[in-house]
Structure 1
Amino acid sequence: MAKRFSKIFKLGLDQPQLDFVDITPATDTRLFIDPFAISLKSDEWSIRCHVLIKHFFSTALASIKAGREKEAKDLLNGLSEPNETCLGHSKGTPAGRGVSGKQAFDLYESLSKSQAAKTGLLEELADCDLFVEGIGPDKLSDITTNIIRRPLIEYTQDQCKLHGIALLGSYPSGRYWDIEERCWRSDYHALPVVGKKPVILVPKYSVRRKMCLDAQEYYSHHVINYIQQEEFERGTSLVRTLRSGEKRPPYKKAVKEKFPFTKDFLARFSEANPEVLEHYKKFYRKLMGRDGELSHEDFEDQFLEEAFAEAMKERFKEIFPGDAHAGKFHSFIVGVLEYVFWPHLIYPKKEDPIHDGRKRIDITYTNAARDGFFYRVHTAHNIGANYVMVECKNYSKDPANPEIDQMSGRFSTNRGRLGLLVYRDVNEYDRLLKRCRDTAQDGRGVIIPIGDDQLIEFLDLISQGKRHVIDDRLEKILEKLLK
């Protein structure tokens, strides 16, 4: 059986404990990088990627509209086959579906002939799946991968640093889009290697099982529904008349026969009825769940929440306090926080492992919350929390003022003023809470102390199907700090 990335590098963590897609490098994982999903996110990494995607596509489209055929084809020819991410629909060995060579010519032909491109309806790369023949999820995902390859490489390097994966040697990066030079570039980067092949990791918050914008779905559930009602109101020959004389809307099948599916038809319809397209996109901008960030079950069909949470609780007993086990505790806590706080906290990065000769295990998370505690911290309590600092203390003694001061020293206006102090056990919890309260009331930032007991309680709540109660627990701690 093909091994996953986590098993190859012996991370001791499973997919729910990892921020990236735990691929099997020997075969493609059937997930897609979705440019529309990336555009919905407001974190720094996603915004950077969205800007790259939008810039490349507008540059290529401008060349096509201006009739600069050679320039346009050269741009499209830079979209090579990205095998390093191991995502998509290939069977067997990963094989990208880039559009270089003949496919670049075909893509140029499709875009130049597209009704949506001619009218200006086609504005974003994600729209291609709706309006451009020959472009589906696989190809769209691969095009996106090429454009954002540089941020993906940097993300990969950060995750390898976080998990202690050695990066040996430099490998060709493959082409990535350079906004300043308005061209493709390539250079060399240190990357993890499996079977002599470099691997690029992808954040799991950027992938979907299917693209958010889907031509068939748009056609069947939005366009046809609109036309069905329109035909009914106009009283066309498709309207059904019952024996009683009552009029009924036409059958969808009849509407589809009159208006068969083509992407050019969708473009013409959307040009004439822009509110339908806007409603469709707005629907997905607000949608959570199946077509929002993927759940743990989306990544693993056999995933059992209760059993997984119980297994993680047992791991606390196996890691003893003390410097000798600090590294093991750090790795474990990274997995616990990922599992408990996904998708609100994302992109964990390890920082400053050594300070004054003492080992410091510091992690910074990006706050991507759109609801819940980590969202309210900023909106309701006005605490800067674009990033959340985490420090893990595998001490056998109570955290004291030096640890509190150390963490508050990491806060700044740009980084934020919210941190989690993760510790093992405490003899005087009220005293620790008072120290954190003094820090908050002095204006030096908010530090939420979380020990083994709290994390085990969070896992209990998850196993009972009460994940939402975790927010209440955190809110109560915060209230004590702000009193």
Structure 2
Amino acid sequence: MFFSERFKVDSDLIKAYGAVDISLVCDIPLFIDPMLIFNSDKYQSLHQEIIRYFHFLFIKSKEGLSTKEIDAWFNFSEVPNNWLGYSLIGNKGLALGRKFAKFLYNNIGFALNTKSISKSQHIEKAMLLYEGSGKDKVSDLTVNLIKRFLCEYTEDFAKEHIDPDLCQTIPVDKAYFNYETESFVSREYTLPFLYNSKGKIEYVLLTPYDILREDEPSINREDFYKSHERIRAAIENDTLRAYVNNYIGQAVRQYEENQKRSRRAIRENSIQKVEKNAFQEIVREYPELYDYYIKLQEANTDEIKKQCMQELNKQLEKLMIASKNLISLFVSNEYVLEENLSAREEAKKRLAFFKYIIEDCDGYKNLFVKGQQIAKENDLQRLFRFVWHGSNYKIDSEPNNGRGQADFIVSMGQRNQNIIEFKLASNSTLRHVFTQVKIYEAANCTDGSLIAIFYFSESEYQIARQVVINAGHKDAINKSIFLIDCRNDNKASASIA
């Protein structure tokens, strides 16, 4: 279920090599931050390779390209082989796609023009303009441009530490770009491999931990707008700084006058919103403000590295340590496999066992990191994937079919499937879960659903229980609705209980 297990190497050896021991069940929610590549002397050649390709794109964009040429040079497919991302089932996510390719084609000049303000060029600058930009898109773009490095990095480890029988010489599509032929080139590498859900060979890539983080990339839209005060203070051009400050000041004064005229209170949070909106307007006229932001981030090297390492350690502890502990508890408590059960009965059995592990076998401890609870449904969903250890049932998260996306669909053939939905008791939309699963049932032609509600305090338990009762499902508790006690302040250790 992990790289170390599948390829029979010690996880400490992977760590010593500088890589992450990835899960081979579902993606790890970690992403490559290009700023970490730029900030490291070790990866400067990689940064230059990335920027070189962007320069090629810029030159081509000035010539005017056909749709086919844009697709060939600007469109990047997903590289799922590193097992990084959001997918809860396997490692397949969404590619950047043609929409992004067209956007990049139209804005490649913006991405590379530093106005002589920032120290270097950064590909993620383009994302400051892109609606719907996110860490997964920045990471996917970067992976495509450093694929050769990742293949060589993994190949070196594999040749030295992995049994040759667990590796194959595999052709890797678009491994690198040939500037003479102006085309991407495939190349063969000796890499660890596994068989995917379609029975086809799929190579696996390791990624250095020091270019990974869990949160947004260091250069991102939301942080750019939040940083408007720092950006304004960093403007070296006195005239521009005065103009920007005056523009924002006028917007604030107008708001205050309107409030006084209407005899309404002047609120600090409203002033902050006015300033942010005014900054969003003025940056359209003076795009060099983007470059002052990037310059600030370039100078913030130590803080960025520190923050990224904290995010990385927290995410690995949440997923890796907790999941391995849960698997150990699962195995040691001798879960009995009964493949003759219906998908619904098996899903119910696994969910009940998950509840038992958390509540009665110290499993709840794995829902806390240094006393801080894992508060995201996404984290709990990932951990639940590991409870299907050893199963022949298909556990899937169906693509959004227009009616929403179920957390899990358990199946043994098309006519034998059941939906499982996870919710935190603290979720403000908890009461809608019963309507939600009915929609999923109709959309996926399933016969019934199971609901798991996780609570971390007594008050959350009371809220969850009352929601279930008010919906008329009191009799379904512990049958098709499972209230799972994740508290760490009300349980004696299993070793002394």
Q: Percent identity?
A: 23
Match in the other structure for 1:201: 206
Partner Cα separation in structure 1 for residue 46 and residue 126 of structure 2: 18
Match in the other structure for 1:252: 272
* Alignment of 1:90 onto 2:72: no
2:318 to 284, 301, 317: 301
Match in the other structure for 1:278: 295
In the TM superposition, residue 254 of structure 1 has moved relative to its aligned partner by: 2.4
Deviations along 1:376-407, one digit per CA (max 9) or x if unpaired, are xxxxxxxxxxxxxxxxxxxxxxxxxxxxxxxx
Deviations along 1:247-303, one digit per CA (max 9) or x if unpaired, are 999711223455558xxx756543257434422442356533113585533421389
- Give 1:404-483 correspondences, 5 Å limit: none
Match in the other structure for 2:100: 107
Match in the other structure for 1:192: 192
Partner Cα separation in structure 1 for residue 160 and residue 293 of structure 2: 45
Three-state SS of the structure 1 residue aligned to 2:176 is strand
Match in the other structure for 2:18: 19
- Give 1:215-230 correspondences, 5 Å limit: 215-222=221-228, 226=232
1:47 to 24, 36, 44: 44
Q: Is residue 228–residue 252 contact of structure 1 (8 Å, CA) maintained in 2?
A: no
Higher helix share: 2
Deviations along 1:129-184, one digit per CA (max 9) or x if unpaired, are 21233542212211211221111111001122343342533212121233543421
Q: Which amino acid aligns with 2:313?
A: H
Q: Is residue 248–residue 278 contact of structure 2 (8 Å, CA) maintained in 1?
A: no
Q: Is residue 251–residue 278 contact of structure 2 (8 Å, CA) maintained in 1?
A: no
In the TM superposition, residue 126 of structure 1 has moved relative to its aligned partner by: 1.7
Unaligned ranges ≥5, structure 1: 305-483
Match in the other structure for 1:170: 169
Three-state SS of the structure 2 residue aligned to 1:301 is helix
Q: Is residue 158–residue 167 contact of structure 2 (8 Å, CA) maintained in 1?
A: no
Three-state SS of the structure 2 residue aligned to 1:36 is helix
The total of aligned residue pairs comes to: 292
In the TM superposition, residue 16 of structure 1 has moved relative to its aligned partner by: 5.0
Match in the other structure for 2:305: 288
In the TM superposition, residue 86 of structure 1 has moved relative to its aligned partner by: 0.9
In the TM superposition, residue 12 of structure 1 has moved relative to its aligned partner by: 2.9
Q: Is residue 74–residue 102 contact of structure 2 (8 Å, CA) maintained in 1?
A: no
Match in the other structure for 2:432: none
In the TM superposition, residue 187 of structure 1 has moved relative to its aligned partner by: 2.1
Three-state SS of the structure 1 residue aligned to 2:45 is helix
In the TM superposition, residue 29 of structure 1 has moved relative to its aligned partner by: 0.9
Q: Which amino acid aligns with 2:227?
A: H
Q: Is residue 39–residue 50 contact of structure 1 (8 Å, CA) maintained in 2?
A: yes
Match in the other structure for 1:214: 220
CA spacing shift, 1:40–1:137, aligned 2, 3 Å: same
Q: Which amino acid aligns with 2:32?
A: I
TM-score (norm: length of structure 1): 0.52
**Bigger shift: residues 210-219 or 290-299:** 290-299
Q: Is residue 175–residue 185 contact of structure 1 (8 Å, CA) maintained in 2?
A: yes
Q: Is residue 35–residue 53 contact of structure 1 (8 Å, CA) maintained in 2?
A: no
Three-state SS of the structure 1 residue aligned to 2:73 is helix
In the TM superposition, residue 206 of structure 1 has moved relative to its aligned partner by: 1.5
Match in the other structure for 1:160: 158
- Report the aligned-residue RMSD: 3.9
- Give 1:52-91 correspondences, 5 Å limit: 52-69=49-66, 70-77=68-75, 79-91=76-88
In the TM superposition, residue 34 of structure 1 has moved relative to its aligned partner by: 1.9
Match in the other structure for 1:384: none
Q: Which amino acid aligns with 1:49?
A: L
Q: Is residue 212–residue 312 contact of structure 2 (8 Å, CA) maintained in 1?
A: no
Q: Is residue 131–residue 267 contact of structure 1 (8 Å, CA) maintained in 2?
A: no
In the TM superposition, residue 91 of structure 1 has moved relative to its aligned partner by: 2.5
CA spacing shift, 1:267–1:118, aligned 2, 3 Å: farther
In the TM superposition, residue 4 of structure 1 has moved relative to its aligned partner by: 1.2
Match in the other structure for 1:369: none
Partner Cα separation in structure 1 for residue 308 and residue 284 of structure 2: 23
Q: Which amino acid aligns with 1:75?
A: W
CA spacing shift, 1:258–1:118, aligned 2, 3 Å: same
Q: Which amino acid aligns with 1:130?
A: L
Q: Is residue 176–residue 185 contact of structure 1 (8 Å, CA) maintained in 2?
A: yes
In the TM superposition, residue 216 of structure 1 has moved relative to its aligned partner by: 0.5
Q: Is residue 28–residue 90 contact of structure 1 (8 Å, CA) maintained in 2?
A: yes
Q: Which amino acid aligns with 1:178?
A: F
Three-state SS of the structure 2 residue aligned to 1:173 is strand
